[in-house]
Amino acid sequence: MPQQKTILRALAGETLPTPPIWMMRQAGRYLPEYKATRAQAGDFLSLCYNPELAAEVTLQPIRRYGFDAAILFADILLLPQALGADLWFVTGEGPRLSTITDQAGLDKLGPVDEIDAVLSPVYETVKILSRELPADTTLIGFAGAPWTVATYMIAGQGTPDQGPAHALKNENRPVFEALLAKITAGTIHYLSRQIDAGAEVVKIFDSWAGSLEGKDFVRYAIEPAREITAALKAKYPHIPVIAFPRGAGHRYEGLHAAIGADCIALDDGVTPNWAAGHVQIDGCVQGNLASRHMVTGGKDLIRETRKVVQAFSNGPHIFNLGHGITPDADPANVQLMIDTVRGI
């Protein structure tokens, strides 16, 4: 039964003797089986839009490791593409998009109610997964947060400091805020359709939230996440929401209430002990082992994994990394992490 799934129990506020485990980017380039499937698809976007192959790579880490959750294999930039932005991936460099820097660029985007024409293969992937996942494995859907998605749409690619987005925010705030509003509406629609297709939990990834300062952090990271969460909760009150404003630092405190999320995911920029005393007191937390341990392994991995589990042992906790696993990670270290968590 769904209520018996460990992640759903943790998200409901239950403290479990062993925390459930999943891992950001758990389906990815560190796995040889993923590399083989991607080669079969031909390129990254073809993989994202092939429901059978996208479901396959989502299932691969579940078969190999027995994680407690599977997260839909997709990309946060599929939504901008569905809204009308050009999107392509450059091998070895990452995504590229057509840029939006003024009203004319904004006007080229299409209506939110037409995005399903592009995103319907993603919903089909969710349907396949809801049928094929083990009965005790939770299916997580996701989207990028409006600020993070906007940084790519404004710059046309990832940037080290999100400078172009900050510039547009400061120089043409009406266009910037209109773009965020468009992404927010699209995200609500996109996540709603994932839930309709079978997602049991949704996560909002704000990878670049930490670059927002002062009132801008509240206005452009917290408020859009709150709006998305409120809209989803109004329609799907039983679906938990995980929010991940990466880089928030001390601003993680109070975010359960500020966003309305069931769980706050933590990066490794805060210590587990601090987070237990300042964030977990308000509800479930997820995290926050440093991703580098998936590369280096050994005694450090075991020691730091135990520290995370022990720090969060008095409240609801989902074990995860502080950010996504990297391509140079050793698959054997993932198994060591899981064995350590489950052996404590």
* In contact, 180 and 147? CB cutoff 8 Å: yes
The three-class DSSP label of residue 306 is: helix
Distance CA 57, CA 36 (A): 10
* In contact, 58 and 34? CB cutoff 8 Å: no
Mark whether 96 is an active-site residue: no
Instruction: Supply 24's token pair.
Output: 């950001």
Mark whether 38 is an active-site residue: yes
The 3-state secondary structure of 41-91, one letter per residue: HCCHHHHHCCHHHHHHHHHHHHHHHCCCEEECCCCCCHHHHHHCCCEEEEC
Question: Which candidate in 34, 49, 68, 75 is catalytic?
Answer: 75
DSSP state of 218: I
Torsion sign, CA atoms 120, 149, 289, 264: negative
Which distant-in-sequence residues (6+ apart) come within 8 Å of 126 by Cβ? 72, 139, 141, 194, 197, 198, 199
Question: Which candidate in 9, 38, 64, 306 is catalytic?
Answer: 38
* In contact, 138 and 183? CB cutoff 8 Å: no
Residue among 264, 234, 261, 242 at smallest CA distance from 252: 264
Distance CA 320, CA 20 (A): 9
Which distant-in-sequence residues (6+ apart) come within 8 Å of 227 by Cβ? 184, 188
* In contact, 77 and 95? CB cutoff 8 Å: yes
Question: Which candidate in 9, 29, 219, 306 is catalytic?
Answer: 29
* In contact, 195 and 123? CB cutoff 8 Å: no
Question: Which candidate in 34, 123, 152, 252 is catalytic?
Answer: 152
Mark whether 152 is an active-site residue: yes
Question: Which candidate in 25, 193, 246, 292 is catalytic?
Answer: 25
Q: What is the number of other CB atoms lying within 10 angstroms of the CB of residue 314?
A: 11
Mark whether 75 is an active-site residue: yes
Distance CA 99, CA 150 (A): 10
Query: Would you name the residues annotated as active-site residues?
Result: 25, 29, 38, 75, 152
